[in-house]
Structure 1
Amino acid sequence: MSETVYPDFGILLVDDEPDWLGSLALTLESCAGICNIATCCDSRQVMAILDEGRIGLVLLDLTMPHLSGEDLLELIAERHPEITVIVVSGLNQVETAVRCMKRGAFDYFVKTDDEDRMIGGVLRGVHMQELQRDHREMASRFCSPEIRHPEVFDAIVTGDRAMQAIFAYVEAVAKSPQPLLITGESGVGKELIARAAHRLSGCRGKLVTVNVAGLDDTVFADTLFGHVRGAFTGAEQVRRGMVEEAADGTLFLDEIGDLSISSQVKLLRLLQEGEYFPLGSDLPKRLKARVIVATHQNLSAKEGTGAFRRDLYFRLRTHHVHVPPLRERRGDIPLLLDHFLEEAARALGKKKPTPPKGLAQFLATYGFPGNVRELKAMVYDAVSVHRDRMLSMDSFVKAVERSQAEAGPAAVTPPKENPFAGFDELPTFSDAAAFLVMEAMNRANGNQTLAARLLGISQPALSKRLKMRQSI
């Protein structure tokens, strides 16, 4: 597997001492995993290199022949204000440092400074540049909200405007190295969003999915980080962790809300430090994968009760999308119904059946606690027992009734406000019944069979009431 180039923009080291440049480049690569490095010994060539557009961060010496570091600092601020500049000088002078900061330097270090301090400053500069690039990309995408790569979202059947907005957001943040948090109820398609984000990221590696629900701390660490031989009893061979398997690609951690506190600490360190230790090893390895996490739980509420670490929560939600449940995008039901009918018929070796009139409207009256996954299961079950040209509605009605019965009375009939509470005079039973019939017919788009099901009466009884209204 090819090595990841980190970061995805170039870092230019500028100094008239080649030995210092070589030493600094080696230090950054060995201690921080920074390998996308270019060097320049002639200050007159710097602006031409920056004009090529691949450099995002410059480490700049001050005392050089031809153009001084301060002169270059002014030129960079004028012509390339988007580039982050860190001054690394042999001069330990407060006045010089203050002057450089006023001219736009992100930070100032002396060559004799502690190595860890300098590396930390460079990593902060890299992080700042990444955030700025994310911001520019997102601003550009939101100014032009059309989806540039609709084919990436083909697996998600929708015409809903909220879903289209989610697609545009995912396109905007797909190339960001920061974590992406996907929330939503079970069955809404969170993994499909993660797959789309991976395809849009441009990562050369694969998408590695890990469901972390139910993993204790040791199994979690072994699954993600792997182990060396002899790390524990039975560890006879080296095991690559999922983080390493996802190198150059995307690591997707599903059901992240179920992680124990101790496992949350390990994940936080992985994201903050960008490195991890395989079990039994003293040598760290770098994180070379984009991290996407998903959960059906309310992490904000869990954070409030102390069940989820606040620092990890805010680290994970750098980018966040919430996928709405199916009951909030009922307009997608006819599209999904048609899609799953075709898919089920193909999978079961049958001809695509014709859905009965009113089926989509009937399904739109159901809350779908299992969301798209539940609708898919209903369709597959109905097609599997289908025999005639016209698909029977009975299978769907039984599935809805069974789900409502299993959910219990509280879930089936949630308490509602009294619709007559503000009335000075109550309507008669006849008037109230007439209002119900009218509303049911409106919701069923004139379909008497569906309206009767909504009212819980037979179709002949509904037909009789409609004739009574017409005769009045």
Structure 2
Amino acid sequence: MTRIFLYPDKKFFGEALSSFEGVKLTAFSDTPSLLRRLKSDGADALIIDGDVPHISGIVRFLLEHTPTTALVVVGNENVKDADLFIPREVSVNDFSAMLRKFLEVRGFLLSGGILGRSRAIYSVGEIALKLARTDISVLVVGESGVGKELVARLVHNRSERSSGEFVPVNVGAIPESLLESELFGYVKGAFTGAVSDRIGLFERASGGTLFLDEIGDMPVSLQVKLLRVLETGRFYPVGSSEEREADVRIIAATNRDLKLEMDMGRFRSDLYFRLAGAKIYIPPLRERREDIPVLVASFIKEVEKKTGKPFPGFTDSAMRFVLGYHWPGNVRELRNFIENFVSLAEGSPVTGEDIKGYFAEHSQTGRKLPVRWRENIPSEMAVILESILEELNYIRRRIDSLVPGGSLNIEESERELIENALKLSGWNKSNAARILGIDRKTLYRKMKRYEIKED
């Protein structure tokens, strides 16, 4: 049963939701009643008129106490942290269609433990849901820690193969000499020590899904055999001349640039194009910082449930550190960070001073801010500057890794840096220019050149 709260109680809302099945509607006429129920019971979604008094306070309360509740705002597109905005002038039918699609994608993501309010993570859900309704092979791309296996499981669990097994394997963790027999199995006598037949992961996943994590680490010799399975649905166990059928769906994942791997001869182009026709890209956390408060609130609740003690919270200065940090380990690193500080917290809120040592210790920029800078700027700004330096180092590493004939779009990289600086500074042009080390006029000129506008 999907629980939807309505505030205020409007006839229009009821009419738009009248055709929804499996939905329980609860309307509220005052803010205190709404907040009490949100805190005690929670809801799957809150549909709220964007012009109600104190809406910013309601949004803050929702993010803190029920971070998984979807926020649907009607009529005021300036409300921050809304998951969905619906114009006031839409018809009842259009309102219903927009909300129905949104709730389906949102519920789909939550069913797999994927949290976030960003458009980027919603798009991941849209694509994954479409692919779940097919049986084609899928390639999931993203940095370590973004949740590639979660998305793969999500696709499997909503597919027609959900009654079959989801079999994950980290290709890079298995020695090359053992990988073929691990995947395809072997027959008795195939090699020394093969005293009996053994099925491989393809047969174990029969009727289900085989998840090949870090596919970029697969040896080229095995890539040929994987391609044959994808094309024919058949394979040979090691040491056998008898073909076997592979009734399995392949979902592969990588944190590598497979096009670059192709150029360097480490990944077959035919296999890449076979997989990349259905691709899901999961952006790193630094590119969807609006998801961080939701993830933090949710992880805190998880740890509180495990430890049985309430967490006193983070101060504003601490949250500025959390929001400004680069999170190279993405969601996995953020979860570990929250588990550590929530578990060890005593009676008072965690401050910026309490946690800044973590970010200094875990900084992976390879280049630090000059000491005299640190002495003259707030510690929160230092974290932001370190994040920008990480972007610069990332670009330098890309340049260093280019093979002859490769190319790097410098303008694209500059645009990305400017956008990140603007987002980190809350679109304050003066602060963004200071972070980038340029004056405001130069910043405005570059924003105009790259057509950068605030969302």
Q: Give me the TM-score of the superposition, normalised by structure 1.
A: 0.56
SS at match of 1:324: coil
Identify the residue that residue 222 of structure 2 maps to in structure 1.
263
Choose which of 83, 107, 119 in structure 2 pairs with 1:151: 107
Identify the residue that residue 173 of structure 1 maps to in structure 2.
131
Q: Which amino acid in structure 2 is aligned with residue 187 of structure 1?
A: G
Cα shift readout 1:416-445 (whole Å, capped 9, x = no counterpart): 9xxxxxxxxxxxxxxxxxxxxxx99x9489
Cα shift readout 1:32-59 (whole Å, capped 9, x = no counterpart): xxxxxxxxxxxxxxxxxxxxxxxxxxxx
Cα shift readout 1:329-383 (whole Å, capped 9, x = no counterpart): 1111111111111112223343233222243332221111111111111111112
Q: Which amino acid in structure 2 is aligned with residue 152 of structure 1?
A: F
Question: Structure 1 residues 249, 380: closer, same or farther in 2, change over 3 A?
Answer: same
Q: Which amino acid in structure 2 is aligned with residue 168 of structure 1?
A: E
Q: Give the distance between the partners of 2:156 and 2:211, measured in 1 at CA.
A: 9
SS at match of 1:213: helix
Q: How does 1:103-114 map to 2 (within 5 A)?
A: none
Q: How does 1:19-418 map to 2 (within 5 A)?
A: 146=102, 148=104, 150-154=106-110, 155-203=113-161, 204-404=163-363, 407-409=366-368, 413=389
Question: Structure 1 residues 356, 249: closer, same or farther in 2, change over 3 A?
Answer: same
Question: Structure 1 residues 353, 407: closer, same or farther in 2, change over 3 A?
Answer: farther
Cα shift readout 1:236-295 (whole Å, capped 9, x = no counterpart): 222121111111111000011111111211211111111111112221111111110000
Given that residues 235 and 243 in structure 2 are in contact (C-alpha distance below 8 angstroms), is that contact kept between their aligned partners in structure 1?
yes
Given that residues 145 and 168 in structure 1 are in contact (C-alpha distance below 8 angstroms), is that contact kept between their aligned partners in structure 2?
no
Question: Structure 1 residues 345, 445: closer, same or farther in 2, change over 3 A?
Answer: farther
Q: Which amino acid in structure 2 is aligned with residue 308 of structure 1?
A: F
Offset at 1:215? 3.1
Given that residues 386 and 392 in structure 1 are in contact (C-alpha distance below 8 angstroms), is that contact kept between their aligned partners in structure 2?
no
Q: Give the distance between the partners of 2:212 and 2:354, measured in 1 at CA.
A: 35
RMSD between aligned residues: 3.1
Cα shift readout 1:67-124 (whole Å, capped 9, x = no counterpart): xxxxxxxxxxxxxxxxxxxxxxxxxxxxxxxxxxxxxxxxxxxxxxxxxxxxxxxxxx
Q: Which amino acid in structure 2 is aligned with residue 151 of structure 1?
A: G
SS at match of 2:316: coil
SS at match of 2:172: coil
Q: Give the distance between the partners of 1:345 and 1:353, measured in 2 at CA.
A: 10
Q: Which amino acid in structure 2 is aligned with residue 153 of structure 1?
A: L
SS at match of 2:338: helix
Question: Unmatched 5+ residue regions in structure 1?
Answer: 1-140, 417-438, 447-453, 455-472
Given that residues 378 and 396 in structure 1 are in contact (C-alpha distance below 8 angstroms), is that contact kept between their aligned partners in structure 2?
no
Q: Give the distance between the partners of 1:246 and 1:328, measured in 2 at CA.
A: 35
Given that residues 142 and 282 in structure 2 are in contact (C-alpha distance below 8 angstroms), is that contact kept between their aligned partners in structure 1?
yes
Query: What is the aligned residue count?
Result: 286
Q: Give the distance between the partners of 1:265 and 1:369, measured in 2 at CA.
A: 33
Given that residues 225 and 240 in structure 1 are in contact (C-alpha distance below 8 angstroms), is that contact kept between their aligned partners in structure 2?
yes
Q: Give the distance between the partners of 2:192 and 2:290, measured in 1 at CA.
A: 56
Cα shift readout 1:383-438 (whole Å, capped 9, x = no counterpart): 2221114234444311111122674449763659xxxxxxxxxxxxxxxxxxxxxx
Offset at 1:227? 1.1
Q: Give the distance between the partners of 2:350 and 2:103, measured in 1 at CA.
A: 35
Q: Percent identity?
A: 35
Q: Which amino acid in structure 2 is aligned with residue 278 of structure 1?
A: P
Q: Give me the TM-score of the superposition, normalised by structure 2.
A: 0.58
Q: Which amino acid in structure 1 is aligned with residue 149 of structure 2?
A: E
Question: Structure 1 residues 315, 415: closer, same or farther in 2, change over 3 A?
Answer: closer
Question: Structure 1 residues 405, 267: closer, same or farther in 2, change over 3 A?
Answer: closer
Q: How does 1:390-469 map to 2 (within 5 A)?
A: 390-404=349-363, 407-409=366-368, 413=389, 443=425
SS at match of 1:327: helix
Q: Give the distance between the partners of 1:217 and 1:395, measured in 2 at CA.
A: 45
Q: Give the distance between the partners of 2:138 and 2:103, measured in 1 at CA.
A: 19
Given that residues 337 and 360 in structure 1 are in contact (C-alpha distance below 8 angstroms), is that contact kept between their aligned partners in structure 2?
no
Given that residues 358 and 444 in structure 1 are in contact (C-alpha distance below 8 angstroms), is that contact kept between their aligned partners in structure 2?
no
Given that residues 382 and 392 in structure 1 are in contact (C-alpha distance below 8 angstroms), is that contact kept between their aligned partners in structure 2?
no
Question: Structure 1 residues 407, 349: closer, same or farther in 2, change over 3 A?
Answer: farther
Question: Unmatched 5+ residue regions in structure 2?
Answer: 1-96, 370-385, 394-420, 429-434, 436-455
